[in-house]
Amino acid sequence: MRSSNTASKRRKRLDLGKSADLGRNPHTIAADAANVAASGVPPGNGEGSQSRRGRVISVSWGEYTRQIGIDGTSAAIKEAIRVAFRLRTKRLFWLEDEEHTIRTIDRGMPIGNYTLHIDEGLAIQICQFDEFEDLPIITEDKIFYTQDDFHDFLVGRSWICLQEYDSNRNIDNMDDLRPGVLYRGVRRG
C-alpha cells in the first residue's frame, strides 16, 4: 500500500507541474526557452509570438483570409499561396497592400494585410471559316493565361499562328494578341 501511496504523491507533483505550463508539449517549452535565450524576447502575445511563428502576412481573396508564412524562398511563398487558396492553374497572381501598392512576393516584404489578385487572362474571339467559301461558321471566345496555354492551343489545332481578321496580321506570340479582336487560325503551307 505504501508504494501506491508514494506513486500517488509523485503523480500529484507531476500534475502540479503540468498545470503550471498549461498542458503544453515539453518540446514546445524547450523551444520557447531556446528562443528566449537566442532572442531575449519571451514567448506570448505580440512580437514574441510573431518571432516564434516566423514572419507571417495576412492574405485575403474574396471572403477568404489565410495566414501565410514568408520565411521561405519566393517560390515557396508563392506555392504556399497557391495551396492556401487552392489555385490549380498556372494563372499569374500578385499581392496588393492596404495602400494599394503591389508588392514583390519574397521574405523581405513588409508584415501586414494583403489582397490577392489573380490574372483574368486575355480574352479574344476566334472565328472558324468554311475552307471553300471563306465564310465564318463558328465564333468561339477563348481566354489565354500564359504563353504555354497559347502555344498548346495552336498546336492542338495544327495552326502555326492566329491572324487578325481585319488586318491579316499574323500573331504567334501571346503578348501580341489584343483583347476583343477577332482572329482566325492559320495552317502550314
pLDDT digits (tens, 9 = 90+) for 2-35: 554 544 444 443 333 333 333 444 343 334 444 4
Helix, strand, coil percentages for the chain (3-state, nearest 5) = 35, 30, 35
pTM: 0.59
Residue 91, judged by CB atoms within 10 A of its CB (0-12, 13-18, 19+), counts as middle
Beta bridge pairs of residue 107 = none
* Most confident among 47-56, 71-80, 123-132 (mean pLDDT): 71-80
Pairing of strands 159-164, 170-171: antiparallel
| 133: confidence class by pLDDT, cuts 50, 70, 90 | low
